Structure 1
């Protein structure tokens, strides 16, 4: 094996505590343990380590090892110095499924890590390989741990998406952010891809309108179907769809944002003359948007439409803490739109 950095030793460092970093803080170290179930974050962390090493040395050697199919001695072979002594990055996947041979070799490696080598161990969770992880966490080989927990909570997903837009140099309104996160309820890799695609398609200043165009139809019972039913005057259908969506945990804010987007479009075309092409240029809308808004605004009176816009602002306030019953406030606004301006009760 290559000359050691200095034998930290698993035994002597067993009681030491290593730094535990967020995935955004990932950095090279003699040994980097990337732990946790969130594969997308783990990939990002591993990529950041590689980029950091390449920034200092363009001739970086990169080796990938599958711990599950590992053959004895493989780690020491790739860790041996090359003819030109380039620095090495060794990435080991599936440590949670590792063979006995890998666990034995990895423990030996920690006793005397190779010079100019970064060993990245990816462990997605479970008990397999726990003794090896305990050695790393105990301080063997001066390692660090990058923790990649699963992102499930809405607030965490919102924070992740917001960070993605900051990374992309983009700004997005709170309502648009909620709409996007609600539409992409799967893995965060898909959500990150949606953020990047949205910036690529619509630019760096994003509102509910841009998000609405990119996400319409993504969810079976979603904000856009509710809004479409309401603006088409189908009050009963809109109310059923709304209650179905809320019962499955959909945030009311994206519902409101989708409805507001359509109401604003109706207000813009109300009383306007000219072809859809001409109006599209004047109003900064697509011709199909003009046509749809003109269909949806039929039967509205100007005073009722003005009241609808006021009610939209009032409903937003009620949804954000101004009412003990925000769902009722949203239903009231929805029915006001569906009934083209007929008042429905009073907010509680």
Structure 2
């Protein structure tokens, strides 16, 4: 303050904190913004808080119908966001749990999920069996929910939601075990082509992608991995595979890949190059181009017997078997002599 300057005090403005969680999905974020299922606004249950809620509601009302703008208290808004992602992940883990049972009994998980989805109380969305869910939200939000439950003295509820993640981890381990057991109980020094590394198609996002754990599982058995993804860079793949993973059930850090293991991984920008001289193919992302590849050309360039392990159920397994592949599809009746193999845990 300068000499002789008079200090003037003004009343500090009063701020209100609102909760306005987003429900955008990667690949459709702009569409989700302009045509949302709902907009959720949470605020304090005071006159000032409700005035702030109505102010924000008026902004959204310019393009969102008023009956789709929901207003709640702060905790309801925060938990609604976590619950939405937890419920979606739960559906994926549920159908993936059924996929293991389908393989054990000879049922077809696509037929089961279709029949279940025709029930109007359930619906068909998020009932596609796969090698597991990934992305930045599902696991993070479930773990947030687990933490809140434990802090509020609800261990049984926390354990319920933990199980959703455990089934997801189990599905990835089961997939790796199926690959190894199908290829005569070892993939050591065998080339495995991994088609797709992103956690879902139409994005280059690799956060929590199942491909990381599957690749690490195969590398643990000394496989040679060749990876192709149309959007994920080699640097990103190498960083993901070199990163430590924290096991929250057994709090120790798993070891990152050693320089020797890193040499067992190659990244290509062509699916045909990735599969050349490979013993097996693992389809890890549901990219549309994987449905239309020339699999006869791929088969001719591979070692024999040639295996396809479809972690997303994107290829026509019968057509591939006609070409000569031994095919494993998540939750589908097993191929030929694989039927006589014991269930993979």
**Band the TM-score falls in, shorter-chain normalisation:** under 0.3
TM-score by length of 2: 0.25
TM-score by length of 1: 0.24
